[in-house]
Structure 1
Amino acid sequence: MLIREATAADWPAIWPFFHTIVAAGETYAYPPDIDAAAGRELWMLEPPGRTVVAVDEDGTVLGSAKMNPNHMGGASHIASASFMVDPRHGRRGVGRALGEHVLAWARAEGYRGIQFNSVIETNTAAVALWQSLGFAIMTTIPEGFRHPTKGYVGFHVMHRKL
């Protein structure tokens, strides 16, 4: 697996799994009916943000991550990131590889920590992955997310010092 900068040419490969994940409404607080143009605007970041793709040896896009300063000004030394793995390529270590890549990027860019603003508590695989990579749950916002089948559930704010 190779992780590289995403280009405009990658969006047609990202959009199908982005759309599937967002439309399910289980893990992202994006509008479930978001269209491709609005999705591209949210996901394909310009500097100081960055978007990458994880690709297989044949060039198949397996997943993607976007990373950026969490805030501006006096809080711009904390990074944030979001991750999506194509469900057809799950359980292959793509999320872990993208997470490790983001950690390395944030260190190289001089960030002092990474904060995930909204990790849905029912997304137990993601919570476990981030904890295995050294992230801690700083707080949970009770009923902060309306899950389509589980009702109101919490979302975690997670952090890792670099």
Structure 2
Amino acid sequence: MPAMLDDPTAATLPAPTPTTTPTPTPVTLRDGTPATLYPILTPASLPTSLVTFLAAQFNAEVERGDTYPHDQPLAPEHFREYWFGAFGAVLLLGAYEEGVLQDEGRDWAECCLGTFYVKPNYPGRCGHVCNAGFLTMPAARGRGCGSVMGREYLVVAKQLAGGRGKGYTYSVFNLVFETNVASLRIWDGLGFERIGRVKGAARLKSYPGRMVDAFMIGKDL
């Protein structure tokens, strides 16, 4: 669901400034397992091992070719700025642990459940409209991680200043492919509206010979 003006080969859009500093948030997964959502305000603070792990997961999703419009992989350092250059968050298994995001030796495959970013969807006078991208680790699917991150996104987006220094007031996802039923179910459940349809938006790997439509969806924050 990249931002409208987002080009992964170019510099990121201006980073939002928190109106209040987001803090690690305890959450509970569908099966009752505790987890923690860690906000990322400075991409350089992330351990290289975590960035490398997440870049590999993102590139695998791109290679599967059914959810993101990208068709080329991103190198880890490029991914760091693309994903975390504005604002990002990482969902980790377990209760809050101080210093966990500085641990280069952590086995991220065992504890990382997902991640998302928030950035402006448009520049300037429309900078109060935000966008987000989400990635759930394949091993964590079916545990409600996508819904957890979606709910927390709606909270944290209002804490980020977009356009004239105020918090974001509206969220737009530009391309949610009609075939991505799981994602649409999450956003429908969180009160998003389908505000537009892009005909023949994508050539997806699982649908050869067919141009797949995409929905634009939005929600007041």
TM-score of the alignment, normalized to the shorter chain, above 0.5: yes
Amino-acid identity (%): 25
Task: With the length of structure 2 as denominator, give the TM-score of the two structures.
Answer: 0.67
Tell me by how many angstroms 1:87 deviates. Answer: 0.8
TM-score (norm 1): 0.90
In the alignment, which residue of structure 1 is the partner of 2:212? 153
2:52 matched residue in structure 1? 12
Conserved? CA contact 2:88–2:118, under 8 Å: yes
Contact 2:172 2:219 in 1 (8 A): yes
Q: Which amino acid counterpart does residue 96 of structure 1 have in structure 2?
A: S
Inter-partner Cα distance in structure 1 for 2:186 and 2:201: 21
- Relative to its length, the structure with more helix (as a share) is 1
RMSD of aligned residue pairs (Cα, Å): 1.6
Compared CA separation, residues 96 and 116, structure 1 to 2 (3 A): same
Q: Does 1:22 align with 2:62?
A: yes
The partner residue of 2:78 within 21, 35, 38 is 38
Task: Using CA pairs under 8 Å that are at least 6 residues apart, name the structure with larger relative contact order, 1 or 2.
Answer: 2
Distance 1:157 1:145, change over 3 A: same
Please show how residues 1-162 of structure 1 align to structure 2 within 5 Å.
Answer: 1-6=35-40, 7-9=45-47, 10-45=50-85, 49-57=86-94, 60-109=111-160, 110-150=167-207, 151-162=210-221
Distance in 2 between the 1:67 and 1:33 partners? 20
Task: Kindly tell me the number of residue pairs found equivalent between the two proteins.
Answer: 159
Report which of the two structures shows the higher radius of gyration computed on alpha carbons. 2
Cα distance in structure 1, aligned partners of 2:73 and 2:124: 33
Decide which structure has greater strand share: 1
